[in-house]
Amino acid sequence: MAGILANGIHLAYETHGDPAAPPVLLIMGMGTPLTAWPDDFVGGLVEQGFYVIAFDNRDCGLSSGFDHLGAPNLSLSFLKHLLGWPLKSAYTLNDMADDALALLTGLGIGAAHVIGASMGGMIGQILAARYPARVLSLTSIMSSSGRPSLPGPSRAARLALMRGPKNPADQAQVEARMFQVLRVIGSPAYPTPEAQLRKLIRGTFERSRGGGRAGAMRQMVAVAASGDRSALLASITCPVLVIHGAADPLLPLACGVDTAAAIAHASLHVIEGMGHDFPPQLNERLLALIDMHLHGKMGMRCAPLGSGGRLTSR
């Protein structure tokens, strides 16, 4: 496993494909290490002719942790967020975007295509807006602009995220809780096979220092503390594709629609029945969309890929 000192911290990363090929930087979501990117998704990008870089965000996986700062009070932070009060966080999404930028610089990559999922999409949005010369294109998947008026998670999704295991040191309890969370936020029309979910959960537990719940909590507060990116999104100049599931219970569809609307030239692709995950049944469709986007063909008017998807371009 490779690692690099970037932005003053250690970042663990992996690369796939030919280093001479166009680079793609994958940024994963909250509390989730790089191993959460499906192997078939990463392999598909390599087959399309890209050099893929994936990494563990700070406070996750094998990258630098911030346990010395303690775990935040999620209930209090949620209340403050609802009331619009300022939140104190261990770091912000801006810091995490600077991590990603420093990783690219450390690897000698001048500019890359950026694909971000959930919180990773938010980090990618900041990268594209603040460092336009370093981002060739942005693909924002199941993410949000952070606009305060947008709907929040469903009650089931919110409770699943906020309820931790009774004993965080008990691997069985941690894995059972993670399984429940993934089932709640997953795609109702495309359920991931249980064996595949179990494999993902075991990998996350083993890589994230026993599940990494405290780090995920700090990242959750960082998202809330980073606020509204609507004005920032309006400054993005690179090609942008927004992909969102119509059945996402964590970041409802309105979040993806708003993200695309905030970027004048963005393309929006909505997938019916998709939740907040990467089900194997949608891998080919996602790869086809991204292939079109990264090769500059997404601006063309075309029919949606597969039943249930709808594509809008402006």
85-132 pLDDT tens trace: 677 889 999 999 999 999 999 999 999 999 999 999 999 999 999 999
* pLDDT-based confidence at residue 211 (cuts at 50, 70, 90): low
148-168 pLDDT tens trace: 999 999 999 988 877 877 887
Q: Tell me the angle at which helices 119-130 and 93-106 cross, rounded to the nearest 10 degrees.
A: 70
What pLDDT is recorded for position 15? Answer: 98
CB atoms within 10 A of CB 223: 22
107 CB contacts (<8 Å, ≥6 apart)? Answer: 4, 13, 15, 53
Residues 69/90, Cβ–Cβ less than 8 Å: yes
260-279 pLDDT tens trace: 999 989 999 999 999 999 99
Across 227-252, average pLDDT: 97
What pLDDT is recorded for position 83? Answer: 59
Beta pairing, strands 135-141 & 23-27: unpaired
CB atoms within 10 A of CB 157: 20
What pLDDT is recorded for position 80? Answer: 67
Q: In the predicted model, is pLDDT for residue 313 greater than 50? A: no
- The alpha helices in 63-133, defined as continuous H runs, are 74-83, 93-106, 119-130
